[in-house]
Structure 1
Amino acid sequence: MLIQDVMSRAVKSVSPETSLQEVASLMCLQRFSSIPVIDSQGILTGVIAERDILKFLFPDIKDLMESPSAINFQALEQDYRKIFSMTAAELMSKQVISVTPDYPLLKAVAVMARHNFRRIPVTQEGVLVGMVSMGDIHRATFIKSFSGSPQLTETA
C-alpha cells in the first residue's frame, strides 16, 4: 500500500505571512497538531507545530531544574500573548521532512516514528499535495487486514 492510497488531499495550510494568532486558532478549532506552511505556488516551505508555539509558554528545562521557585509563570503567560503578533515564518520548522505519494505506507510509519510525528506532509516536486496521519495509516491497515468490520456477537 502507498501513501497516495490513504493520504488526505484536502489539506489546511497557511502562508508564511499568516499570524500566529490565526495559526493557533486553526490548530485549536480543527484539532491539528501541526500545519504545513506553503508559498503562493503551493511549495512547502515549512511546518508549524503546536510545540513550536507552546515552547514560549513553558520555562526552559535548565531554568526549571536549577531554580523552579524563581520562575515567573505569570510573566511567561504575558510573553505567550506577545507571540501572536509574529508570523508562521518566524516560528515554523524550515527543515521539513515529507514523503511522496508513491512512498510505501509502512516505510512512512518508520519515518514518522523516528521523528515522533503524528502527521507528515506529502509533496510532489516540492508542492504540497496532501497529508497523512497515523490515524489514516491505522484505518487503512485495519481495513486491508480485515476486509470489513469485525463480527460482533451480542451477549445477554
Structure 2
Amino acid sequence: MLVRDIMTSTPVTAKLSSSIAEAASLMLDNRISGLPVVDDEGSLVGIVSEGDFLRRGELDTERRRSCVLEFLTSPGKLADEYVRAHGRKVEEVMTSPVTTISPQQPIADAVKLMERGDIKRLPVIEDDQLIGIVARSDLLRALSKILTAKSSPNDDAQIQAAIQTEFAKHSWSSNGFISVAVKDGVAELSGTIFDERERLAAKVAAENIPGVKSVDDQLTWIDPYYGVAMPLP
C-alpha cells in the first residue's frame, strides 16, 4: 500500500502571515492537530501543531528555569524560547524545515519516518507541491478499513493451508513443532512449543486467516531447561 492510497488530499493549511489564533481556530474547527504552513506561492515552508502551543505566556506555561540553569543556557536558546512563547504569527512558532514524503512511497516508509522523528504527520510532496498529508490517524483509518472488510469464504483445506503458510514465514514457529487442523472453520493448534510466547503468536497468526471462526489451543509447552511438559497458564 502506498502513501497516496491513505493520505488526506488537499489538506487544510495555514499561511506564514496567519496569526496563531487563526491557526488554533483552524485546527479546532477541522478537528486536526497540525497544519502545513505555505508561503504566498503555495510552497511548503513549515508545519505548526498543538505541540507548538504548549509553552505559551498566555497560559502561564512558558518554560522557567532556576537562576543557575538560566545562566548555563545560551542567550540564543532563551531568545528562541521567548519567541515561541510570545510570538503572534505562525511563522514565529512553526517547525521548519519539515520532514516530507512522496505519494509513491510505501506506507512502511511513512511509519519509519514517524517513528524516527517522533512526528505525527507528514506532508506529501509531488513536483515541489503540497498535495496531501498523511497522519497517524490515516494509518489507523486504513487499518480499520482492512480489518472490517468482508473476506471471501474459504473451505477448511484452504484455511489450513493458509495458516501453515503463515507459520512458515516466521522463525518463532520453527522453534517447536506446531501443527494445525481445521474443521468447520475451527483451527486446532497442537504440538509442542519451547517458549510460552510462541503460543499467543500462533493463535494470532491463525485468527488473522480469513474464514477462521475460532482457535482451539492444544499446544504443549515443554520447558527447555527441565525437558518436561508444563501446565497451561
Matched, 1:104 2:106: yes
Q: State the structure with more CA Rg.
A: 2
Q: Percent identity between the aligned chains? A: 31
TM-score w.r.t. the length of structure 1 is 0.73
User: 1:106 and 1:148, CA in 2 relative to 1: closer, same or farther beyond 3 A?
Assistant: farther
* Structure 2 counterpart of 1:17: 17
* Structure 2 counterpart of 1:41: 41
TM-score w.r.t. the length of structure 2 is 0.51
1:43-82 map, 5 Å: 43-56=43-56, 57-60=61-64, 62-63=65-66
Q: CA deviation at 1:88?
A: 0.9
Deviation by residue 1:18-46 (Cα, 9 ceiling, x = unmatched): 01111112222323221100112221000
Q: CA deviation at 1:145?
A: 5.6
Contact 1:99 1:108 in 2 (8 A): yes
Specify which structure has the higher proportion of strand. 2
* Structure 2 counterpart of 1:2: 2
1:119-138 map, 5 Å: 119-138=121-140
- How far apart, CA to CA, are the structure 1 residues paired with 2:17 and 2:7? 26
Contact 1:20 1:83 in 2 (8 A): no
User: 1:83 and 1:27, CA in 2 relative to 1: closer, same or farther beyond 3 A?
Assistant: farther
- How far apart, CA to CA, are the structure 1 residues paired with 2:35 and 2:45? 11
Aligned residues: 137
Of structures 1 and 2, the one scoring higher in RCO (CA 8 A, sep 6+) is: 1
Backbone CA RMSD of aligned residues = 3.1
Specify which structure has the higher proportion of helix. 1
